[in-house]
Amino acid sequence: MKAKISERQLNKYSKNMDNTISAKDRIIAWPRMGRIDIPLKALMLSLGAKIVIPPANSNEALELGVKNSIEGICLPYKLNLANYIMALEQGANTLMMFQAPGSCRLGNYTKMAQKTLKKMGYEFDMVIFDMYQSKMKQTLQAFWHVTRCINPFKYYKGFSLGFNKFFAIDEAQKLLFYTRPREIHKGDAEKCYNKWLNIIDNTNSISGAKALVKRIRKDFANIQINKNKYVPVVYLLGEFFVLLDPYVNQDIEKTLGESGIEVQRQIWFSEWLEGVLKPSFLNKKESHRQKCVRNARKYMKRAIGGESIETIGDAVYAAKNGVDGVIHILPFSCMPEIVSQNILNKVSKEEDIPILTLVLDEQTGKTGYITRIEAFVELVKRKKIMRNSEMKKKKEDLVNV
């Protein structure tokens, strides 16, 4: 692998980590978020690790997280804590988590969870790695620390499987978002997506993983769709965790798709990983973050943590590129997104694009949530009809002239 690390560097790194459990006895777990369990499982098993995958986020997990969290902490933390508790109860003894800089509380999640879990009587090692600090080097050090794997081929296989599975899952989701509002037979896109999640999970060869995206595109292309159907496009943006986890956002993508809306998202796990781990000199095209910084400049001069600048940049980009509406979702008390929410009011007025903000926590009721989305969908559809009518009239006027 390109990022070569000496044994001395690895040992120095290990001294700053918990080392109460030997590598051969480690049983590793990490928090749930969307379907990151599939690629991470492939990576960890390739390195010879023993793992525990906690159940997907659910009402049970949320109740457990709320019960053991301090008041006012955000929803992602509560679910992360519940994931850790469930994993420890299933036999895990090593917990992994990444952290990030800025005003987002993600950087403190692990330390807070560690103290809470120790007070609850759990014995475990916590492995924290900052993927923004030294990128691939930091990542390799963390995985070496928990697995003690020194076989370069195993790292190559693990990262190849993991990355290709991330790309495949994201591609399947993009095609699901496009196909669902246009499908002739309701449910075809969902069935295809779930089928491919299972295939992706069970693919264990590098060649098989590399072929996934092409196979997924071919399969979705066979689904019967109405290509002439009138389908508005809505951007979904906001805080990373609530965007990527369907339980947390109450399956908003499905709700919108079944309402005849094509959802588009600009934040994808595979692209985020590529941006974080890939050396900057290898990036030949403008990254998503760079594009957001450029588009947000009128409203936000610098990043303040979390996905705040991506939220503003994507909203401005949507308005300039004919997107019909924007839905901004965030966890209650998320400071970076609260700042974004206030700026979005100005973006909506000046850029002439409808924007709906949805704040989520354990008290969010399904009925009220759906009602607000349905009202927004009707607004977006009416606006698109008016816009199309205006464009049609302009064309007719030009022909008559």
Q: Which CATH number fits domain 231-401: 3.40.50.300, 3.30.1330.40, 3.40.50.1970, 3.40.50.11900?
A: 3.40.50.11900
- Whether 266 shows a pLDDT value over 50: the answer reads yes
Q: What is the pLDDT of residues 67-108, one digit of tens each?
A: 999 888 889 999 999 999 999 999 999 998 876 655 566 667
Distance CA 354, CA 325 (A): 5
Share of the chain above pLDDT 90, in %: 65
Rg of the chain, C-alpha, whole Å: 22
Amino acid at 29: A
Please report the sign of the dihedral spanned by the C-alpha atoms of residue 281, residue 283, residue 286, residue 288: negative
- Whether 397 shows a pLDDT value over 90: the answer reads no
Residue 200 parent element (H or E):
helix 188-202
Contacts of 84 (CB under 8 A, 6+ apart): 29, 31, 54, 95, 113, 117
What is the pLDDT at residue 185? Answer: 96
- Closest by CA to 113, choosing from 85, 133, 90, 89, is 85
What is the pLDDT at residue 390? Answer: 67
- Closest by CA to 347, choosing from 391, 386, 308, 305, is 308
**What is the reported pTM?**
0.89
For the chain, the domains span: 7-148, 161-179+182-230, 231-401
Distance CA 212, CA 270 (A): 14
What is the pLDDT at residue 11? Answer: 56
Q: Which residues of 226-236 are buried (b: 16+ CB within 10 A; e: fewer)?
A: eeeeebbbbbb
Residue range 117-144: mean pLDDT, rounded: 80
What is the pLDDT at residue 139? Answer: 77
Q: What is the pLDDT of residues 10-65, one digit of tens each?
A: 555 555 566 788 888 999 999 999 999 999 999 999 999 999 999 999 999 999 99
Q: What are phi and psi of 29, to 5 degrees?
A: -140, 160
- Whether 281 shows a pLDDT value over 80: the answer reads no
Q: Do domains 7-148 and 231-401 have the same CATH topology?
A: yes
- Closest by CA to 242, choosing from 166, 329, 157, 311, is 329
- Whether 1 shows a pLDDT value over 50: the answer reads no
DSSP string, 55-115: PPS-HHHHHHHHHTS-TT--HHHHHHHHHHHHHHHTT--EEEEEE--SSSTHHHHHHHHHH
Distance CA 213, CA 196 (A): 10
Q: What is the pLDDT of residues 169-221, one digit of tens each?
A: 999 999 999 999 999 999 999 999 999 999 999 999 999 999 999 999 999 99
Residue range 351-370: mean pLDDT, rounded: 91
- Fold assignment, 7-148: Rossmann fold (3.40.50)
3-state secondary structure of 282: helix
Q: Are 362 and 78 in contact (CB under 8 A)?
A: yes
Tokens representing 276 are 């974080």
